[in-house]
């Protein structure tokens, strides 16, 4: 393994010692990529478990035979237990490894919140091992929140790809064009710019669907006066940068323009106070003041922000949230999406304003997204 990965494994082992655990059993593809460079989306369907422990001279891995060839340097630096999917039980394979290397009564942690560890698999593992496992999803995932300069550089490169996607959006979003056509142009632009596959589908909704904050593209054709909002990711070496923008097709009505203005001011207020060392809650606080002043208390549809980095389906989110209940400070090396999302279900309106940012020693650096720009009207209503 590269030295960077070895140092990351050592950090994980220190977490285990602090929790008085004998081993970590990690199913999450993002964790496997972070610690050993294993790049595979298949773990959500074909279980693969990375085992880190102070008791082991090097990490072990229970891996689907067909994916073993994808390990960096053919798995050098790892001990492998291969299994044949559809023939062997991955739970039994894991139990075999644990029995061979750990004494009875050993305490294990696992990433129980990973989508790669479903309920049925978890039940099989508990039955096969006879162990009661501790959820260590948060402390293990938190190690990824602080990015190295190399990781930030990868996100910068992904951010450049996002610009191509946003340019395609603004070019093609016109009266009569369908949401799926727009999504197709965005995705094609991202691929042409060099993006790898993204962790979640393009989020898009327009018109009477605009309050569907996590809608996906349909055959709906854009109409005059529509609001259209999008959110999508571009990827370099599995690191995501997320682009967001809301557009108007022709001139929006007064209510829609006002809602966008409020969201833009909310984002701007949060960006203005963000600095190294500030508690996360204080970044959202000025936006909440604006909402109260506008008669929209507690109307944010989504968190004001969340950390982002390595991503595999079905999510690109990391565990650090920019929310009113998080008093933990934001430090240099963190990268996150900051956005203001306002929904008016009664009037079928919805806006999302934001982008991807990194905290440096000097303050925020924008990596991707339209940010706190004015509402762009991409077409001219002949009326």
Instruction: Say yes or no: 237 and 362 in one domain.
Output: yes
333 within domain boundaries: yes
Q: How many separate domains does the chain show?
A: 2
Q: What is the pLDDT of residue 380?
A: 76
Instruction: Say yes or no: 296 and 159 in one domain.
Output: yes
Instruction: Say yes or no: 308 and 356 in one domain.
Output: yes
Structure tokens of 199?
Answer: 């962790």
351 within domain boundaries: yes
The domain in which residue 362 lies consists of 149-377
pLDDT per residue as tens digits for the range 106-130: 999 999 999 999 999 999 999 999 9
Instruction: Say yes or no: 356 and 277 in one domain.
Output: yes
Distance CA 347, CA 95 (A): 55
Instruction: Say yes or no: 83 and 217 in one domain.
Output: no
Q: What is the pLDDT of residue 383?
A: 60
DSSP 298-347: T-BSS-SEEEEEEEETTEEEEEEEESTT--PBP-TTBEEEEEEEEEEGGG
Q: Is the per-residue pLDDT at 152 higher than 80?
A: yes
Between 1 and 105, the higher pLDDT residue? 105
Instruction: Say yes or no: 98 and 185 in one domain.
Output: no
pLDDT per residue as tens digits for the range 228-272: 999 999 999 999 999 999 999 999 999 999 999 999 999 999 999
Q: Is the per-residue pLDDT at 2 higher than 80?
A: no
Q: Region 349-371: what's the mean pLDDT?
A: 97
Mean per-residue pLDDT over the chain, rounded: 95
Q: Is the per-residue pLDDT at 290 higher than 60?
A: yes
Structure tokens of 326?
Answer: 């998080």
170 within domain boundaries: yes
382 within domain boundaries: no
Distance CA 96, CA 322 (A): 42
383 within domain boundaries: no
Distance CA 83, CA 95 (A): 12
Instruction: Say yes or no: 195 and 123 in one domain.
Output: no
Instruction: Say yes or no: 318 and 368 in one domain.
Output: yes
133 within domain boundaries: yes
Q: Region 142-152: what's the mean pLDDT?
A: 96
Instruction: Say yes or no: 13 and 122 in one domain.
Output: yes
Domain stop point among 107, 142, 177: 142
Q: What is each CA distance from 197 to 22, 64, 240, 244, 294, in whole angstroms?
A: 35, 22, 10, 18, 40
Domain stop point among 123, 142, 161: 142
Instruction: Say yes or no: 76 and 196 in one domain.
Output: no
Instruction: Say yes or no: 202 and 336 in one domain.
Output: yes
Domain stop point among 142, 165, 188: 142
Q: What is the pLDDT of residue 382?
A: 67
Instruction: Say yes or no: 304 and 172 in one domain.
Output: yes
Residues with Cβ < 8 Å from 84, sequence gap 6 or more? 65
pLDDT band at 301 (very low <50, low <70, confident <90, very high): confident
CATH of the domain at 221: 3.90.230.10
47 within domain boundaries: yes
CATH of the domain at 119: 3.40.350.10
């Amino acid at each position: 393994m590269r030295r960077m990965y070895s140092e990351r494994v050592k950090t994980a082992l220190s977490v285990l010692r602090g929790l008085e655990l004998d081993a970590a059993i990690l199913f999450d593809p993002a964790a496997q990529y972070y610690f050993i460079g294993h790049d595979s989306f298949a773990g959500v369907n074909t279980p693969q478990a990375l085992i880190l422990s102070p008791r082991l001279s090097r990490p072990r891995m229970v891996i689907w035979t067909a994916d073993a060839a994808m390990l960096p340097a053919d798995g050098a630096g790892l001990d492998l237990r291969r299994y044949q999917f559809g023939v062997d039980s991955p739970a039994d394979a894991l139990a075999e490894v644990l029995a061979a290397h750990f004494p009875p009564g050993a305490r294990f942690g696992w990433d129980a919140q990973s989508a790669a560890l479903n309920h049925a698999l978890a039940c099989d593992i508990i039955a096969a091992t006879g162990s009661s496992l501790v959820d260590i999803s948060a402390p293990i995932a938190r190690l990824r929140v602080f990015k190295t300069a190399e990781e930030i550089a990868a996100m910068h490169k992904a951010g450049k790809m996002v610009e191509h996607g946003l340019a395609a959006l603004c070019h093609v979003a016109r009266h009569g064009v369908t949401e799926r056509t727009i999504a197709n142009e965005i995705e094609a632009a991202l691929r042409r710019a060099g993006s790898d596959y993204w962790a979640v589908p393009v989020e898009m909704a327009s018109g009477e669907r605009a309050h569907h904050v996590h809608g996906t593209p349909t055959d709906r054709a854009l109409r005059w006066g529509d609001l259209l909002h999008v959110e999508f990711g571009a990827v370099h070496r599995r690191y995501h940068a997320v682009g967001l923008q809301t557009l108007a097709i022709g001139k929006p009505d007064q209510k829609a323009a006002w809602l966008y203005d409020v969201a833009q001011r909310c984002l701007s207020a949060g960006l203005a106070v963000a600095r190294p060392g500030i508690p996360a809650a204080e970044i959202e606080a000025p936006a909440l003041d604006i909402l109260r002043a506008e008669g929209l208390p507690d109307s944010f549809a989504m968190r004001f922000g969340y950390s982002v980095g390595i991503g595999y389906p079905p999510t690109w989110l990391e565990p650090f949230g920019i929310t009113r209940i998080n008093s933990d400070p934001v430090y240099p090396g963190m990268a996150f999406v900051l956005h203001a999302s306002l929904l008016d279900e009664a009037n079928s309106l919805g806006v999302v304003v934001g982008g991807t940012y990194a905290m440096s020693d000097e303050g925020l650096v924008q990596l991707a997204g339209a940010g706190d720009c004015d509402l762009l009207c991409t077409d001219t209503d002949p009326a």
